Structure 1
Amino acid sequence: MDKKFRDFLINFNKFKNKHLWSGCFHEDSNCSQRIIKAHSIQNNKILNKISENGEVLMFGAVGGNDYGITTDLQEKGRKKATTFTGFCGHHDHSIFRPIENYDYIPGNAEQEFLFTYRATAKEYHAKKSSANMYRTLLDLLDKGSYTAISSSFEAGPPSEEHIHYMKELYSRALFGTQDAEKRLERYRQKLNTDLENMFYDDIITNVIVLGEEYHIAVSSATFLEENLNGTKINDLGDFSISLAPLFITVFPQNGQTFILLSHFKRNDRRYRFIKEDLLKRDTREIKMILSNIILSHVENLVVSPKRWRETKLSTRNKITKLFNKNTKEVNNPLIIDYNLDLFL
């Protein structure tokens, strides 16, 4: 990483961290005073299992050019990995007790609801934080406070062309992020109402059980654009129609790996290909398809350092390349690499 990019990354991360949303996803009169850094993937049950010397691997920026930022897997302490300021201490402890203190049992509606709930909370936090950042950036541009955006402008203000470019870039980003904010707020209200009423039946979960422990973990909410036959599931370019989120949870447990693919009951038709097609494939195909989905649609992914080290260099390069493709391109087909296997 060259000095120029390193300085940019340091400044960007400082700016981003200043604008992280901090609040309780389940805000009510029972909230404790302090908002904590809650884990989106269980620390003691999952991260501890796949860590090495207290470290796990997550994708992070390592370089950049005119085409965007390049990422690679980097070590991160498991106590910090996957954390977000999205719950107060009381609710983080009380809500997730059924999945923190007990092993997952396939078909347990409460546990499957809670995995979905946690993935939604993480995505809600990410979108609220991004919206906060883009609003501030546009406000600073309007005020001409360029050095507050980047220390690189201390040598002189940006050109009119550069200012116009930044305004266009941040405005487009904010437009899409605000739309996601509104959708996730509706999901939050719905899930909190269901949680309070102990109504878990509105979440449909298809479970895949692999016969050995793979040391990866995922907790994410995403929107698949199409199914395995190319039929449209979500049109991400049309902001006037409803979207159907898919909630993905992956973790090892007791010699097996569990993959939970969850969606709202009202979206059952859009995701029926999971039960009617995906689940009927053989294990090799299932792993290949899920590897493509995860690397193309998920950022909250954790990998074992030991398993990664033991993986062939060609496979590691392939995984990293596809993840980077995900961050730079949209509207990719569901399957990009028919020989991909992320399950390490």
Structure 2
Amino acid sequence: MKKVGRNELCPCGSGKKFKRCHLGVNEIDEDNMEDFVKTYKQLNKERRIKQCLYPEKSKCSDKIIRAHSIQNSKIIQRISENGNVYMNKAKPNNPFAVFTKWGRKEATTFTGFCDYHDKVVFQPIEDRDFELSNEQIFLHTYRCLVANMHDKQEQVKLGKSTTETFSLSSESSVGLLGLGNGLAVDDFLREKMILDKALINGDFDVVDSIVWEFDFPIQFAGSAFEAPTHDLKNRKIQSLETNDIIAHLFITIFPENDKSYCIISWLKNSKEILSELVEQIMGLSAKERKDYLNTTLVKNSDNLVFSPKLIERMSKDEEHYFGYTSQGAYLFEALLEAMDDELHIESKIPEVSDPGYDLFKQC
């Protein structure tokens, strides 16, 4: 019998540490390891959900497509080389890599819309330059929300099939992770109901935002969401352990023409929870903005695409720090927050510190 360490990569090939993946399987028979990995990969394939998340189904086409959460022809193609980009999202056959090469046609895709609604709903951001209009900001927010909700729904399905297949307890790490993902879906559904109504009525004023403009084209793009529990002074603003409505920040960043844009948005009904944090974000200096995005995007999302020339020019140290932020920074942050809560002090948290790499580097 082979004991898998808590901090070792999970043998299922997910690319996650064992303690955050299949810790419920305490001992794995080495002779059956191949069967275990094969079974999990099959479950991973079967988790796919094909649906159209547009609220009115009457005009849905029959074909559910692999929709891009970041525009393919407009953005991903621009930063790709020979049809490829890098992502901080592992593939089962290469779980140890911090960065993995993806074809641009498969990067950032999810089966969450029919081909009709994917084209019609997002046409104002697909076919027009970014004009900072309420409609475009709303649509970027909407797509970020539904893409992440769809991912969480698939994670719930995977968790359920994994616990059933491997006879895991609902109290195992896998079971508890599935419960957490289910609660996240519920939170997203509450926000989606508000955005669905606004989308149908053309009322795009339900979203507030900060838009940062950079005077050069960046070599990456992506989207992320965060349910922040603390502001930038480490003061608690919400708890994820209650039944209260959870407030989210949605972030989309992309190059366009000779500039780049970052949209940080939230639902207006979250204003009371997020007001202090938003004010702090608005007050960041030019360098602090980059530090904040370098950290927050990487810590919260694997839906980021990078130009090969940006990644291939990273030093080993930069890649190490990137991997730490992507996979381990939350542990340090949780410890820091716990210490500050215990001592009743305020401190600057890592989002506005130099993470040791710079995605805004011009190549």
TM-score (norm 1): 0.84
In 1: Cα distance, 2:64 partner to 2:333 partner: 34
In 2: Cα distance, 1:59 partner to 1:234 partner: 28
SS of equivalent residue, structure 1 residue 205: strand
Counterparts of 1:1-344 in structure 2, within 5 Å, are 11-27=39-55, 28-61=57-90, 70-106=96-132, 108-141=133-166, 163=168, 168-236=172-240, 238-273=241-276, 275-326=278-329, 331=334, 334-335=349-350, 338-340=353-355, 341-344=358-361
Give the partner amino acid of 2:164.
Answer: D
Change (3 A) 1:11 1:55: farther
In 2: Cα distance, 1:178 partner to 1:49 partner: 36
Give the partner amino acid of 1:339.
Answer: D
Count residues in correspondence.
316
Q: What percent identity do the matched residue pairs reach?
A: 28
Deviation at 1:253, TM superposition (A): 1.1
Q: Deviations over 1:55-100 (max 9, x none)?
A: 0111233799xxxx75511110000000000000110010000000
Give the alignment's Cα RMSD to 1 decimal.
2.6
Q: What are the ranges of 5 or more consecutive residues in structure 1 without an aligned counterpart?
A: 143-162
Contact 1:57 1:304 survives alignment (8 Å): yes
Contact 2:47 2:158 survives alignment (8 Å): yes
Deviation at 1:262, TM superposition (A): 0.1
Deviation at 1:234, TM superposition (A): 3.0
Contact 2:219 2:359 survives alignment (8 Å): no
Q: Deviating runs (4+, > 4 A) in structure 1? A: 4-11, 326-330
After superposing the two structures, state which structure 1 stretch, 258-267 or 208-217, moved more: 208-217
In 1: Cα distance, 2:174 partner to 2:189 partner: 22
Q: Deviations over 1:177-204 (max 9, x none)?
A: 1111211222222211110000110100
Q: Deviations over 1:114-169 (max 9, x none)?
A: 00010011111111101111222233345xxxxxxxxxxxxxxxxxxxx55x8622
SS of equivalent residue, structure 2 residue 231: coil
In 2: Cα distance, 1:337 partner to 1:287 partner: 8
After superposing the two structures, state which structure 1 stretch, 52-61 or 320-329, moved more: 320-329
SS of equivalent residue, structure 1 residue 234: coil
Contact 1:204 1:263 survives alignment (8 Å): yes
Contact 2:89 2:302 survives alignment (8 Å): no
